[in-house]
Amino acid sequence: MVDVSHISSGLSTPDWQREQAQLLAARLQSDSDFTLLSLVESLGPALTDTKVEVRKAGVSLVSLTLTLLPPSLLPAQELSLLSLFYTDRLR
């Protein structure tokens, strides 16, 4: 999983995010027990933090991970989750 404390402490750099995104994308493709929902849930504290920069880093990590996945990997249910996730971030 992702070290959420690394994000929450403000240590998350673009290079670290890219590295983590590659690891997460590989795991999403190889581990059927690890889903997009698992990823979003594990990042929960970063995605709901009171600091904008921490939330931004969490959303960025999800987005970077998605760019590395083949479109066929995401079933309709997970696409629906993504739509809700990003819509909620815009509020």
pLDDT tens for each residue of 37-67: 899 899 999 988 999 999 999 999 999 999 9
What is the residue-wise DSSP string for 36-88?
Answer: HHHHHHHTHHHHT-SSHHHHHHHHHHHHHHHHTS-GGGS-HHHHHHHHHHHHH
Average pLDDT estimate for 78-88: 83
How far is residue 63's CA from residue 40's CA, in Å, rounded to a whole number?
11
To the nearest 10 degrees (0 to 180), the angle between helices 76-90 and 52-67 is 150
Look at the pTM and tell me if it is higher than 0.95. Answer: no
